[in-house]
Amino acid sequence: MDHHEWIKGALRLRGSSFADVARRTGVTAAAVYYVSKGKSRSSRVETAIAEIIGYSPAEIWGYAPLAPSNNGGAMPPR
């Protein structure tokens, strides 16, 4: 199972989804998908997923969390 599928499954086990994370953070479900795939980063999305799953962002993605910025920590897609 890849990392993205693990995140998706962990959210499901807790009664949540990418759409729920998107509503909670004010971004699109596609933005949540890209963060879960590691193709973009967003402090807001990473933190929301981590809170729902019960891990820290560093434990999930393996790197230090982003500092919040004026744009909510969103970075443009690569």
User: Are the C-beta atoms of 53 and 20 separated by less than 8 Å?
Assistant: no
DSSP 1-68: --HHHHHHHHHHHTT--HHHHHHHHTS-HHHHHHHHHTSS--HHHHHHHHHHHTS-HHHHHSSPPPPP
Number of structural domains in the chain: 1
Q: pLDDT by residue for the chain (78 residues), tens digit each? A: 788 999 999 999 999 999 999 999 999 999 999 999 989 999 999 999 999 999 998 888 887 666 665 554 444 444
25 found inside a domain: yes
73 found inside a domain: no
The structure's pTM equals: 0.79
**Which CATH number covers residue 27?**
1.10.260
Nearest to 50 by CA among 71, 26, 25: 25
47 found inside a domain: yes
